[in-house]
Amino acid sequence: MRPFLKWAGNKYRLMRQLKAILPEAKRLIEPFAGSAAVFLNTDYQHYLLAETNYDLISLYQYVQHEGLSFIEYCQAFFNTANNNSSCYYDLREQFNSTQDLRRKAALFLYLNRHGYNGLCRYNTNGGYNVPFGQHLKPYFPYKEMLTFHHKAQNAVFQHADFQTTLQLAIPGDVVYCDPPYLPLTATANFTQYSAKGFSWAEQEILAKQAEQLTNRGIPIIISNHDHPLIPELYKAARIIRFPVARSISRNGKQRKPVMEVLAIF
Ligand SMILES: C[S@@+](CC[C@H](N)C(=O)[O-])C[C@H]1O[C@@H](n2cnc3c(N)ncnc32)[C@H](O)[C@@H]1O
């Protein structure tokens, strides 16, 4: 099942490799939920999905709790009259200023499907600033949202930093971490999902906490792309590598296969 949001770094096309190594467990914890592709394409009894993107978690909670009535409310924003740059920028402004959380959640989906290249980007004040995408007829993901709603009855969605989420893991869980990747070049910051970004220090904290979880008998797997610092970063893990075509790039010509890494602790 495809995620209902477009999301940089989504793991939909890597599910075959991931499913081959994700161990059985009662609950899957994803501290970097993103588009929830892994949640949608695995079969655990329970899930804990967390994220620092508040807008994303809020949208998931509306789909989870309200189902069809919220899906139809979102669908009303997808019409020809709303698919032009002036309406887009007006609705983006409403998204950034409204206090109505239900409307804000529906607008987040509208912006995701009408904005440029499925990007999710904020300015330093936290304002959503993705430009208009000029899509001919943005797809409304009705069936994907309905599937999400049904599956979400066995899930908890929470707004939290990965360090908080990792503390909630107990034996019997398996943890899959898909953090923002190490930058391949100094300017490759297109996967900046928040105003703050994700630092090298955070990559190191995540690797350290992964070691601590394995010592408590909790399996943990981390994704990243192949980078000269990978062996140092994940020295306590078994590393596997495979090629993958990236789906989001500033320049179409750069959509070359990049080696993907899975660190299995
Ligand atoms: C590579 S994406 C995850 C993609 C996801 N596995 C999927 O299939 O769509 C990384 C996610 O981590 C989130 N994130 C960034 N910094 C974070 C942090 N400190 N703690 C938790 N989540 C964070 C971002 O908002 C982003 O959605």
CA of residue 81 to ligand 1 center, whole Å: 33
CA of residue 44 to ligand 1 center, whole Å: 20
Q: What is the pLDDT of residue 183?
A: 83
Index of the ligand 1 atom closest to the CA of residue 176: 6
Q: What is the pLDDT of residue 196?
A: 60
Q: Domains in the chain, ordered, with CATH?
A: 12-52+160-264 (3.40.50.150), 54-155 (1.10.1020.10)
Q: What is the pLDDT of residue 79?
A: 97
As a three-state string, the secondary structure of 160-210 is CCHHHHHCCCCECEEEEECCCCCCCCCCCCCCCCCCCCCCHHHHHHHHHHH
Task: Provide the token pair at 28.
Answer: 């899957």
CA of residue 114 to ligand 1 center, whole Å: 21
Q: Characterize 220-249 residue by residue with b for buried, 16 or more Cβ atoms within 10 angstroms of its Cβ, and e for exposed.
A: bbbbbbbbeebeebbeebebeeeeeebeeb
CA of residue 155 to ligand 1 center, whole Å: 17
Q: What is the pLDDT of residue 51?
A: 96
Q: Could you list the pLDDT tens digit for every one of the 265 residues in the chain?
A: 999 999 999 999 999 999 999 999 999 999 999 999 999 999 999 999 999 999 999 999 999 999 999 999 999 999 999 999 999 999 999 999 999 999 999 999 999 999 999 999 999 999 999 999 999 999 999 999 999 999 999 999 999 999 999 999 999 999 999 999 988 765 554 445 555 678 889 999 999 999 999 999 999 999 999 999 999 999 999 999 998 876 555 555 555 677 999 999 9
The verdict on the CB of residue 61 being under 6 Å from ligand 1 is: no
The verdict on the CB of residue 198 being under 6 Å from ligand 1 is: yes
The verdict on the CB of residue 60 being under 6 Å from ligand 1 is: no
The verdict on the CB of residue 197 being under 6 Å from ligand 1 is: no
Q: What is the pLDDT of residue 252?
A: 54
**Amino acid (1-letter code) at residue 171:** P
Q: What is the pLDDT of residue 69?
A: 98
Q: What is the pLDDT of residue 256?
A: 65
Q: Is the pTM of this model over 0.95?
A: no
Q: Characterize 18-52 residue by residue with b for buried, 16 or more Cβ atoms within 10 angstroms of its Cβ, and e for exposed.
A: beeebeebebbbbbbbbbbbbbbbbebeebbbbbb
Which residues have CB under 8 Å from 66's CB, separation 6+? none
263 strand-pairing partners:
222, 239
CA of residue 222 to ligand 1 center, whole Å: 12
Q: What is the pLDDT of residue 193?
A: 57
